[in-house]
Structure formats: C-alpha cells, structure tokens
C-alpha cells in the first residue's frame, strides 16, 4: 500500500458523497455507488480522514484477520461507509468511529473467507508503508510479523478484536466498551483471556520454530 493508492482513494471518495437514505454497509466493489455532489466542507473533511487514518486502518484490518490481498479493498470499504455517515462522526471521534467500522468490515471478511475455505494468507505486511531499512532488518521484521499474524490467527475473533485494539492500536478499556458495545467487564475478561491465549500460542510457535527442522 503506497501513497499513490491512498491518494487515489481520497480522490475517489471526496469527488462525491452518497445519497441519504437506507443503504447497504457492504457495497459491491464493482457496483455503481449512488452519490450526490459533496459540499466543500464535507469534501475536505473526508480527504483529511483518508490522509490521517488510512494507513492505521489498513494495518488494523490486517491485524484483525483480513487477508493482505484484499486489505486495500477492505480499507476503501471502511471509508466508503464513513463517507455515508460523515455527518454522524463527531469531531475528535473520527479514529474511534473508523475503527468501529473496521471491526465490522474485518468480521465480514473473515466470515466470507471461512465460507470460501480460502487458504490462510501467509504473506506478512509487505506493503505496509515504512522506510526501507537494511535487508537483515527487513528479514527480522518480516519474520516477527509472520509470527504475530500466526499467533493472532489462532485467537477466536472476539478475543482477537479486543487484543488488537487494546495492545496494538492503543485503545483504552473504556473506549473499547463504547466501540464494541459490550460491558466493561466483558472487555476486561476478553482481554485477559486473549493475553493468556496469546502467550501460550506464542510459546508453542517459538518452540516449534526452535525445534530441529522447524521454520527459521
């Protein structure tokens, strides 16, 4: 995912905003999208959302289990939905609102993936925007991301969501209570169970990699 793709998304979304009225939250990638001319303020605000949050949303979708090959489409879907509901997004609450959409988009993607019995996405976050370090650092980072993805893939979706949003994306327990629409006690319980499962799975994967014949 590069700057050009982010710019293309921004241009596509800010060129027009959807009509009011009931609409599906999962539009077909090839289906025409009903639109109305955007106001200048809405146009600028949506462009700012894409510029400020696209890379973070892309990364979060990957961590939430969206295959790397379809993360660009899923990211664009998040911002299409946000464009429809732009007037409902309170200033200062943009990040939380976008992540709430991302959680639902990722859940839909995972269900569709399971239904189609697709093979697990084995590639790491090769397209995540970053500076270009040395080949040794790249290899170490790729291996670390691959292990993280493997561990996260082993978590149930409800535990994975809480773990990713709290441990990786930095949301507080109170923010997750609102974002996920579940009681604070449930958030805490899921996080505790996710940490335990993450630890056990990570240790198991490390042991298997260190064993003779294991992955490097």
User: What are the two backbone dihedrals, phi and then psi, of residue 36, each rounded to the nearest 5 degrees?
Assistant: -135, 160
Please give the pLDDT value at position 125. 42
| Helix and strand counts by DSSP (H, E) for the chain | 8, 2
Say yes or no to pLDDT of 3 above 80. Answer: no
- Would you say 177 and 184 are in contact if contact means Cβ atoms under 8 Å apart? yes
Say yes or no to pLDDT of 162 above 60. Answer: yes
Give 197's Cβ-side CA count (13 Å radius): 19
Residue appearing with tokens 């969206």: 66
Q: Where are the domains of the chain?
A: 1-123, 131-216
CATH number of 131-216: 1.10.10.10
pLDDT digits (tens, 9 = 90+) for 15-25: 444 433 334 34
Q: Which of 92-96, 129-133, 141-145 has the lowest mean pLDDT?
A: 129-133
Please give the pLDDT value at position 101. 96
pLDDT digits (tens, 9 = 90+) for 175-209: 999 999 999 999 999 999 999 999 998 888 878 76
Please give the pLDDT value at position 27. 38
Q: Rounded CA gap, 33 and 53, in Å?
A: 22
Please give the pLDDT value at position 141. 65
Please give the pLDDT value at position 213. 58
């Amino acid at each position: 995912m590069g700057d050009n793709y982010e710019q293309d998304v921004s241009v596509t979304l800010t060129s027009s905003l959807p009509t009011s009225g009931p609409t599906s939250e999962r539009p077909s990638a090839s289906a025409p999208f009903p639109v109305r001319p955007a106001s200048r303020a809405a146009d600028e605000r949506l462009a700012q959302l894409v510029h400020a949050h696209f890379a973070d949303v892309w990364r979060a979708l990957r961590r939430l289990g969206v295959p790397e090959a379809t993360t660009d489409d899923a990211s664009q879907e998040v911002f299409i939905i946000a464009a429809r509901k732009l007037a409902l997004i309170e200033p200062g609450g943009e990040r939380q609102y976008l992540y709430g959409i991302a959680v639902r988009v990722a859940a839909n993607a995972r269900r569709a993936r399971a239904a189609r019995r697709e093979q697990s996405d084995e590639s790491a976050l090769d397209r995540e925007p970053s500076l270009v370090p040395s080949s040794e650092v790249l290899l170490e980072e790729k291996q670390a991301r691959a292990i993280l993805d493997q561990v996260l893939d082993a978590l149930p979706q409800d535990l994975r969501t809480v773990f990713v949003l709290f441990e990786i994306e930095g949301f507080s327990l109170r923010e997750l209570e609102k974002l996920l629409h579940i009681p604070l006690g449930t958030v805490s319980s899921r996080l505790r169970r996710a940490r335990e499962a993450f630890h056990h799975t990570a240790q198991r994967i490390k042991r298997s990699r260190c064993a003779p014949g294991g992955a490097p």
